[in-house]
Amino acid sequence: MNAGSSSVKLSLVDEQDRTLAERELAAPRAEVDPGALSQALDAHFAGADAVAHRIVHGGERYRQAVVVDPAVRRELDALSDLAPLHQPKSLAALDAVSAQLPGLPAVACFDTAFHGTLPPAAYTYALPERWRVRWGVRRFGFHGLSHSWIARRTGELIDNPADRARIVSCHLGAGASLCAIADGRSIDTTMGFTPLEGLMMATRSGSIDPGLMLWLLERDAVDEQEMAAALEHESGLAGLAGDADMQAVLARVASGDAAAGLAIDVYVHRLRAGIAAMAASLNGVDVLVFTGGVGERGAAVRALAADGLGFLGVAIDGAANESMAPDAEITAAGAPVRTLVLRAREDLEMVRQTRRALSG
């Protein structure tokens, strides 16, 4: 069960990790229609033994999946303050499914949990101690279910096991983040206290100078609500090109559109810099992985990113890159860094974590 900003995705997976059923329900603001949900569950998911839920924020406490009981459910509500735009949506979906399937155990799988291994140097903000202690201000990181899947799947596809490979994982979708993975663990990532930090995204700004925000607030140019709306929903590709859809923006670049060209230039500039930063955290890179909607289907983005990463040993094969085959290698002959394109399978990572949680 994966509740997003505009839809809820459901999939039924068997003991061999085969997908038996998939449904996607339109759900603006994750307000699931009970009738549609009931019909989908009855028709396609009647044989389920447990329900895995993607929960955006686990705070500092939840570093692995957990069976949801009343006490856990209350604590997840309390964590909504850390992710007010995302956590309530996840919990609303959890409650809706639990009401429809009250006899099945519900397991919370956290997008922040994979980053629980970040070292202090990577998660600490250089802020006053009173803020860090009183408010728990630190970098959490997100997209952990996707990055965790990448770590595991990469190990299945390469001859250098993931627990010995240095992997830079690029989850590029409407939201985008990078992760530096060493020994199968996250040691650095681009998102921080919120999913706004880091890369430029479809509608999110990514990292910007905090002094700019102070400057605008001090002059009453914007208020807090307008600022939040702009940073979350009106920035990124949408802010520069007027369109949040990467494929549409790329098509406009091909026709000579200047605004679209600038948007792609900024996107790729930030992406290359982020990949290089993750490689620095790893003291080198063995495998570069692209996933997510843009990462999987954006051949042009992959090519542009790789063109600026030759100094790291990255080079991709043009024909392989254009093939768009899932779970494929696109490394150029002789390149020391292997480059993969993997299908995002948070659902299978959630299944693995749910089995572990239920087995104790």
Kind of pairing between the strands at 106-110 and 166-172: unpaired
The DSSP symbol for 332 reads P
Task: Specify the pLDDT at position 89.
Answer: 84
Rounded mean pLDDT, 177-192: 97
Strand partners, 228: none
- Answer whether CATH 3.30.1330.40 is correct for domain 144-346: no
Mean pLDDT to the nearest integer, 112-136: 97
Using pLDDT thresholds of 50, 70 and 90, give the confidence band for residue 29: low
Q: Give the distance, in angstroms, between the CA of residue 235 and the centroid of all CA atoms in the same chain.
A: 18
Beta bridge partners of 341: 290, 328
The pLDDT assigned to 5 comes to: 63
Token output for 288:
């570069």
Q: For residue 23, what pLDDT is reported? A: 87
The separation between the first and the last C-alpha atoms of the chain, rounded to the nearest angstrom, is 21
Percent of the chain whose predicted confidence (pLDDT) is above 70: 96
Q: Residue 16 to residues 20, 65, 128, 134, 338: CA-CA distances in angstroms? A: 10, 20, 50, 46, 28
**Does 141 score more than 90 pLDDT?**
yes
The neighbour count for residue 267, using CB atoms within 10 Å, is: 28
In the chain, how many H helices and how many E strands? 15, 12
Of 174, 170, 204, 195, nearest in space to 305 by CA: 170
**Chain mean position to CA 229:** 20
Least confident of 4-13, 146-155, 291-300, 318-327: 4-13
pLDDT value, residue 161: 64
pLDDT at 28 (0 to 100): 62
Average pLDDT, integer, range 175-181: 97
231 vs 242: CA distance, rounded Å: 14
Averaged pLDDT for residues 332-353: 96
Do the beta carbons of residue 115 and residue 186 sit within 8 Å?
Answer: yes
pLDDT of 216 strictly over 70: yes
pLDDT above 90 for 37: no
Q: How many CA atoms lie within 13 A of 115 on its CB side?
A: 33
49 belongs to the catalytic site: no
Architecture of domain 2-110: 2-Layer Sandwich (3.30)
For 245-290, the DSSP string reads: -HHHHHHHHHTT-HHHHHHHHHHHHHHHHHHHHHHHHHTS-SEEEE
Residue 12's pLDDT band (cuts 50, 70, 90): very high
Name the amino acid, one letter, at 224: E
31 pLDDT higher than 70: no
In this prediction the pTM is 0.94
**Mean predicted confidence (pLDDT) in 171-198:** 96
User: Do residues 144 and 113 make contact, with C-beta atoms less than 8 angstroms apart?
Assistant: yes
Confidence at residue 183, expressed as pLDDT on a 0 to 100 scale = 93
Residue 308: strand pairing partners: none
The helix (run of H) or strand (run of E) holding residue 341 is strand 338-341
**Which residue is catalytic, options 69, 111, 209, 245?**
111
Q: What residues form DSSP beta bridges with 90?
A: none
CA 247 to CA 133: how far, in whole Å? 44
Question: Which residues belong to CATH 3.30.420.40 in the chain?
Answer: 2-110, 144-346
Element holding 39 (H helix, E strand): helix 34-44
Interhelix angle for 258-282 vs 246-254, to 10°? Answer: 120
Query: Which pLDDT score is estimated for 36?
Result: 79
pLDDT of residue 45: 76
Mean pLDDT of 181-195: 96
Q: Is the pLDDT of residue 30 over 60?
A: no
Strands 338-341, 166-172: parallel, antiparallel or unpaired by DSSP? unpaired
